[in-house]
Structure 1
Amino acid sequence: MSNKVIHAIYNDDDVLMDAVKQTRAAHHHIEEVYTPFPVHGLDKAMGLAPTRIAIASFIYGLIGLSFAATLMNYIMIVDWPQDIGGKPSFSFIDNMPAFVPIMFELTVFFAAHLMVITFYMRSKLWPFKKAENPDVRTTDDHFLMEVGVHGDEEELVSFFKSTGAVEVKVIEKH
C-alpha cells in the first residue's frame, strides 16, 4: 500500500468540477478537495453521502422545547404558582399561550448552540488547532484535489494535467 498522494492544483472552480467528474469516471479515489470558498455541487460530484446534520438539528430543537416546557411547568405551575390579575392559572395548558415565545427561543437556542458544538466535534476543529491545508494557496485563489496514488505514477500525473491542472505534485504522506 503506497502512502503517496497526488496534489492536483487548479485555478478555476469550473475546471475543478470537471476534473472531479473525470477523476471519478476514471475510478480514482479522491481523498480530499481543498477550496478557498464553498463550491456548489462539489459534494455530489465527489460522491459524498448526504449529511445527517439536519436530523441532529431537529433532535436538538426537540431537546430545547422539552427543556423549556419542563422548566416553565416547574417554575410557574409547581414551584411558585401565581395569581396574576385575579386569574389563578394552575395548569400548564391554560398558561400555554404565554409560554410559546419562551419555548420557541429555547428551541432555537438549543438547536443553534448544540449544532455548533456538533460541527466542531465532527470536523475536529478544536480551539488553537493548526491548519491542515497542504498548500497555502488554497486559502486564497487555488483549488487542490488530493488523490491517492494506486498504479502508474506517471500515468496519473499526465491524467491530471489533461484535466486542466496548473500544477501536479506527487507527495509522500506521513
Structure 2
Amino acid sequence: MSNTKYILGSFADPDDMMHGIEKLQANNISIYDCFTPMPIHGIEAKLGVKPSRLPIAAFVFGALGTCLGFSLLYYTMAHDWPMNVGGKPSLPLPNFVPVTFEVTILLCALGMVATFFFRNHLFPGRTPRVMDLRASDDRFIIAVDAHENTDHALVESLLTDAGAVEVKYNERKYVSYE
C-alpha cells in the first residue's frame, strides 16, 4: 500500500469543479471534501452534507441562560436577602424579565461560539492546515480519499475530463502554512 492518502483535483473554475463532483459521484467514487476560496451555492446538497446542529446547541445554551438568570434573581431577591420595599412582593416577576433575557442572550451567544470552535477544531495555537495552499487563493480543490478508491487512474482520468488544471497525489494529510 502506498503513502498516498488523497488525490487532489485542482480546478480554475467553480463550474468545472461541480462537473467534476458529478462525474465522480456518477462512478460511485466517494469525495472526501472540497476546498474553495469562496462560497459556492448548492455544493453542500451535492456533497450530501447534513445540516448543522448548531441551532440545537443555541437552544440548549439559551434555556440554560434563562434558568441561570432566573435562578440568580430568585436566590438573591426572594431567598437569600428578601427586602420589603414599599410593600412590594419579594418575587416581582415583571422586573426579572430584562435581566433574564440578557443572561439568556449572553449564554446563548458565548455557548454557540464555543461550540463552533470546538466542533471545527479552531482553538488557539493550532496551525492552520489546508490540503493545497492555492485553495484559499484561486483554486477549487476536490479531495478524494485514495485508500477508499483504489483505482487511481480512473479517478485521475475523471478529474482531468471534468476540467482539472492539475491532479496530484498528496502523501501527507495536510500541507502546513509554515
SS of the residue aligned with 2:134?
helix
For 1:108 and 1:15, the matched residues in 2 are separated by 43
For 1:21 and 1:103, the matched residues in 2 are separated by 50
SS of the residue aligned with 1:39?
coil
SS of the residue aligned with 1:36?
coil
For 1:83 and 1:38, the matched residues in 2 are separated by 59
Tell me which residue corresponds to 1:19: 20
For 1:169 and 1:20, the matched residues in 2 are separated by 17
For 2:27 and 2:51, the matched residues in 1 are separated by 23
Which sits farther off after the overlay, 39-48 or 11-20? 11-20
Q: Which amino acid in 1 is paired with 2:104?
A: T
Tell me which residue corresponds to 1:117: 114
Tell me which residue corresponds to 1:33: 34
SS of the residue aligned with 2:129?
coil
Tell me which residue corresponds to 2:168: 169
Per the alignment, do residues 101 and 16 of structure 1 end up closer, same or farther by CA in structure 2, a change over 3 Å counting? farther
Tell me which residue corresponds to 2:176: none
1:56 and 2:57 are equivalent in the alignment: yes
For 1:77 and 1:38, the matched residues in 2 are separated by 52
For 1:102 and 1:49, the matched residues in 2 are separated by 36
Residue 154 of structure 1, CA deviation? 2.2
Matches within 5 A, 1:62-141: 62-84=63-85, 86-91=86-91, 95-141=92-138
Residue 16 of structure 1, CA deviation? 2.1
Tell me which residue corresponds to 1:9: 10
Cα-Cα RMSD: 1.9
1:1-30 Cα offsets, whole Å, 9 max, x none, are: 665221011222233233223322221111
Which sits farther off after the overlay, 62-71 or 141-150? 141-150
Residue 153 of structure 1, CA deviation? 2.0
State the TM-score, normalized to the length of structure 1. 0.87
Identity of aligned residues (%): 35
Q: Which amino acid in 1 is paired with 2:23?
A: Q
State the TM-score, normalized to the length of structure 2. 0.85
1:129-174 Cα offsets, whole Å, 9 max, x none, are: 1111122111122111110232332222111011122211122246
Tell me which residue corresponds to 2:155: 156
Q: Which amino acid in 1 is paired with 2:133?
A: V
- Asked if the contact 2:20–2:158 (Cα under 8 Å) also holds between the matched residues in 1, the reply is no
Number of aligned residue pairs: give it.
170
- Asked if the contact 1:8–1:167 (Cα under 8 Å) also holds between the matched residues in 2, the reply is yes
